[in-house]
């Protein structure tokens, strides 16, 4: 992993040039600090891919751990678990209040780094809470975007009645300075720092370095070219036309978007480039050579015109990052966790 760590530090050095911690983030940090003593419960949202690097630094000295709940997002918050989470939060609020009077009002503050999913979670809790309480009226919506920094102000959404429980959706905040440069690269890869501050091509190179050093790609062995060719030939033997073949392939995977044919091609391309590589991915020069080969091969997998030249690599990087961030290229825990965690 030495070569991968070196690449991570290089990306971290690019991120430290500044631009990611502006006046709006400083103002948001102050506003959150002012409201913290006034809320009943703090819900810290972390990215399950970087559970340590996505810690909200301002809460390290938060006085009451009994009023702080950590939720790992980006992996385990499907709709069913959100209902369980809402019920748990309401029960926790009642426990903290310790009263039989259900006419009081309680406030839960959502806190986390940029692009960790606070607004999406706030919207879901708001919608589920109103349905559970059979309340009518127009739903409010916090702004949800794949780009970090879209939430500018603290907004309030009701998630429970009797007692009345409100959740505060807050802007994502990073510390003004991070000493470990590798953390920058993890934040950049998971989308907590805007891509333009580092460069999509550089971030995609970091992802490929991680993939090349892991065993995740081995899961795609069945997608190798030979398997695809045999499947295609078997279907053609059935006497299907190209149009009928296409319809049959689509019927095989009617709802599973991970079975998208372009995703198959990308997975297959990555498997074949790694498995056929004759170098050592732990050596910096060899790793760089493999990554360049992968970029060239990915142009075809993404169907990017060759004439775009240098721009083709940038487009390939953008598409590759999108597949990684939507979970279609596997699941990765980027932080090294203690064995007892």
Annotated binding site for GTP: 73-76, 172
Beta strands in 150-258 (DSSP E): 155-160, 164-169
Interaxial angle between packed helices 79-97 and 118-132, expressed in degrees from 0 to 180 and rounded to the nearest 10:
80
Rounded CA separation 54/50 (Å): 6
| Rounded CA separation 205/14 (Å) | 14
Do 220 and 43 form a contact (C-beta atoms < 8 A)? no
Residues 6+ apart with CB under 8 A from 131: none
Q: Rounded distance, CA 326 to CA 74, Å?
A: 9
The pair phi, psi for residue 285, each rounded to 5°, is: -65, -40
3 state DSSP class of 107: strand
What's the distance, Cα to Cα, between the start and end of the chain in Å? Answer: 22
Q: Which residues are annotated as a binding site?
A: 73-76, 172
């Amino acid at each position: 992993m030495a070569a991968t760590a070196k690449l991570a530090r290089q990306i971290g050095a690019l991120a430290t040039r500044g631009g990611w911690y502006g006046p709006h983030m400083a103002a948001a940090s102050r506003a959150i600090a002012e409201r913290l003593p006034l809320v009943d419960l703090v819900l810290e949202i972390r990215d399950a891919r970087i559970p340590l690097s996505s810690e909200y630094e301002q809460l390290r000295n938060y006085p009451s751990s009994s009023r702080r709940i950590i939720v790992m997002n980006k992996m385990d918050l499907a709709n069913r678990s959100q209902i369980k989470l809402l019920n748990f939060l309401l029960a926790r609020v009642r426990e903290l209040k310790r009263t039989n009077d259900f006419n009081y009002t309680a406030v839960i503050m959502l806190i986390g780094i940029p692009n960790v999913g606070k607004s999406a979670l706030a919207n879901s809790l708001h919608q589920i809470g109103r349905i559970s309480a059979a309340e009518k009226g127009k739903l409010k919506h916090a702004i949800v975007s794949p780009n970090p920094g879209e939430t500018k102000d603290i907004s309030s959404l009701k998630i429970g009645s009797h007692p009345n429980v409100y959740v505060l959706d807050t802007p994502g905040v990073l510390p003004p300075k991070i000493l470990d440069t590798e953390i920058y690269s993890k934040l950049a890869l998971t989308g907590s720092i805007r891509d333009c501050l580092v460069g999509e091509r550089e971030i995609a190179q970091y992802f490929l370095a991680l993939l090349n050093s892991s065993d995740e790609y081995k899961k795609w062995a069945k997608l190798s070219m030979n398997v695809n060719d045999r499947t295609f030939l078997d279907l053609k033997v059935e006497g299907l036309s190209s149009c009928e073949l296409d319809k049959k392939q689509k019927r095989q995977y009617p709802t599973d978007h991970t079975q998208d044919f372009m995703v198959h091609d990308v997975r297959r391309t990555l498997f074949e480039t790694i498995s056929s590589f004759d170098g050592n991915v732990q050596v910096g020069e060899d790793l760089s050579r493999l990554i360049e080969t992968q970029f060239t091969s990915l142009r075809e997998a993404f169907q990017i015109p060759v004439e775009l030249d240098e721009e083709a690599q940038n487009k390939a990087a953008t598409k590759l990052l999108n597949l990684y961030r939507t979970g279609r290229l596997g699941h990765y825990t980027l932080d090294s966790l203690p064995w007892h965690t």
